[in-house]
């Protein structure tokens, strides 16, 4: 049984929490990816690695989940720890207890908290009052765990990150924000095509552009899907209507109809491009079945890396 991965830096993140990719330096992101790869390699070799024996992660869900819940729960178990599923419907925060009081109470019981919720302010408040690590499992502003797993997947399949081009087609949402920031951190060009009224948060664009400039990359925001996809190494999509936006679905279907990733659009990408999607996908809406099931699609490899990327986060923080 191995007690720790070989030649791995400790305390990579250098802070208590993992809330957003933008909180960390390029070197920290790269080091975290290396840790994730080492943990994955040990798992694939059948070697046990149990650094979190006796540790417990509380997982608060105010949004439903498949990948986030299963990957964090399995990740803790494989690292020797335990995970508790905490639905907001079962907690007192669902009946009016403040985030601050919840944070203080859970800090007495747990070694870490992962929360998947709507407002990013709730995660930041939880972080402020908790004395234990807090991990952002998703908010309406950011999805840093998914972005880290995506970088890991690209690095594994392309052998590099710097200088590649990612084209994101669709809503300027939490996924777009985190991917834009992640790309900028590692020197990867990022382009997003979306309707003008669905562009990413301007503060996120400004911050990513400054980071990208420092790392020799460019950030492009356009309403032209062909321009965004031209010569792309990665073509990425997400649903047009996220959780909490269901009432907007018909409007969004009309607004995004020219932003579908299909056989015609991917002709403008590089021949060996990777198609990525954070899942779940609405086949026939943001992407056609021919693309998502095609030879360039790596969506399940990508989903699998959620486990390993998050195990790296857990090991470093806990």
Where is the binding site for carbamoyl phosphate, in residues? 65-68, 92, 116, 143-146, 278-279, 306
146 is a catalytic site residue: yes
Check 146, 260, 302, 310 and give the catalytic one.
146
204 is catalytic: no
Annotated active-site residue 277? The verdict is no
Residue 116 annotated as catalytic: yes
Residues 150 and 188 sit within 8 Å (Cβ to Cβ): no
Binding residues: 65-68, 92, 116, 143-146, 174, 238, 242-243, 278-279, 306
Q: Residues 111, 238, 302, 310: which is the catalytic one?
A: 238
Does 316 participate in catalysis according to the annotation?
no
- Taking residue 110's Cβ as centre, other Cβ atoms within 10 Å add up to 21
Task: Catalytic residue, from 177, 209, 306, 308: name it.
Answer: 306
Annotated binding site for L-ornithine: 174, 238, 242-243
17, 120, 140, 143: which one is catalytic?
Answer: 143
- In a 13 Å sphere around the CA of 21, the CA atoms on its Cβ side amount to 34
Q: Is 209 a catalytic residue?
A: no
Q: Which residue of the set 17, 28, 31, 116 is catalytic? A: 116
Active site residues: 116, 143, 146, 238, 278, 306
């Amino acid at each position: 049984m191995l007690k720790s991965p070989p030649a791995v830096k400790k305390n990579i993140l250098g802070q208590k929490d993992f809330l957003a990719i933008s909180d960390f330096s390029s070197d920290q992101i790269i080091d975290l990816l290396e840790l994730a790869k080492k943990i994955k390699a040990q798992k694939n070799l059948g070697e046990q690695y149990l650094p979190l024996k006796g540790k417990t992660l509380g997982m608060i869900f105010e949004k439903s989940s498949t990948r986030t819940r299963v990957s964090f729960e399995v990740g803790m178990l494989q690292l020797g720890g335990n995970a508790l599923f905490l639905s907001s419907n079962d907690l007192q925060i669902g009946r009016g207890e403040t985030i601050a009081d919840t944070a203080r109470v859970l800090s007495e019981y747990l070694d870490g908290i992962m929360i998947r919720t709507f407002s990013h302010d709730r995660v930041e408040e939880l972080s402020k009052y908790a004395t234990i690590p807090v991990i952002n499992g998703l908010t309406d502003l950011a999805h840093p765990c998914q972005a880290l797993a995506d970088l890991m997947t690209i690095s594994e399949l392309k052998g590099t990150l710097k200088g590649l081009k990612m084209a994101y087609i669709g809503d300027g949402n939490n996924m777009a924000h985190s991917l834009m920031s992640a790309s900028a951190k590692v020197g990867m060009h990022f382009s997003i095509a979306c309707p003008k009224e669905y562009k990413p948060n301007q503060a996120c664009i400004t911050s990513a552009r400054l980071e990208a400039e420092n790392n020799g990359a460019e950030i492009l925001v356009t309403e032209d899907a062909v321009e965004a996809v031209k010569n792309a190494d990665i073509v990425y999509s997400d649903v047009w209507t996220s959780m909490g936006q269901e009432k907007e679905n018909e409007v969004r279907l009309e607004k995004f109809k020219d932003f579908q990733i299909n056989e015609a659009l991917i002709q403008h990408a590089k021949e060996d491009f990777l198609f990525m999607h954070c899942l779940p996908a609405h086949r026939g809406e943001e992407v056609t079945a021919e693309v998502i099931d095609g030879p360039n699609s790596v969506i399940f490899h990508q989903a699998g890396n959620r486990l390993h990327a998050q195990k790296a986060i857990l090991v470093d923080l806990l």
